[in-house]
Amino acid sequence: MSTEHDIADFITAFIADRTGVAANEIEPDENLGSYGLGSMQAVDLVGSLEDRYGVTLPPALVFQYPTVNELSVAVAQRAATAGV
């Protein structure tokens, strides 16, 4: 079972890895663009979330839910539905 918390940690680690911004500088309610996440990396993030949580996600998900918190809730909901 993937919790929102686990997903949020994964997203934060991903942003830190791809942008070089320290993980502890990444705030849960800040727009991910503020850490320099480009459009290509946003697509990379969607694919990485798909791989990890076994769900299919719309490619533009990060643009609809652009913060760590919003995105982890959205992914958790889809993961829960997919698991039923």
Partner 1 sequence: MYARIDTDELAGALYDEVSVLSVGDILLRRARQHPGRVLFRFLDEQGREEDVLTYGDAWRRSSVIAAELAGQGAAGDRIALFYPAGLDFIVAFLGCLLAGRIAVPLNLPSRRRVDRCQRILRDCGCRQVLTVAALEEGLRDILAVDADLPLAWLATDTLRDEAEVAAVLPPPADDRIAFLQYTSGSTSHPKGVMVSQRNITTNLRMMRNAWELDHRSNTVFWQPHHHDMGLILGQLLPIMLGNETVLMGPNTFVRQPLIWLDAISRYRAVLAGGPNFAYELAAQRWQPGRLEDCDLSSWRIALNGADVVRATTLERFAATFGPLGYRPATMLPCYGLAEATLFVSGGPVSELPRLRSIDARAAESERRVTDDLGGTGRIVVGCGLPSQEIDIAIVDPATGERLEADRLGEIWVSGATNALGYWQLPEQSAAIFAAEIADEPGCRYMRTGDIGFIGADDGQVYICGRMKDLLIVDGRNLHPEDVEYTIIESHPLIKPQSCAVFEDERGEQRRLVAVVEADRELKRALPDIEKVLRMQVRRAVSEEHGVAIADIVFIAPATLRKTTSGKVQRSLMKQLYQQDGLDLLQPVAVSDAV
Q: Quick one: which of 29, 51, 81, 84 contacts partner 1 (CB under 8 A)? A: 51
State yes or no: residue 73 binds partner 1 (CB under 8 A): no
**Which of 8, 11, 46, 68 is in the footprint of partner 1 by CB under 8 A?**
46
For the chain, the DSSP string reads ---HHHHHHHHHHHHHHHH---GGG--TTSBGGGGT--HHHHHHHHHHHHHHHT----TTHHHHS-BHHHHHHHHHHHHHHHH-
Q: By CB under 8 A, name the binding residues for partner 1.
A: 18-21, 30-31, 33-41, 43-44, 46-48, 50-51, 59
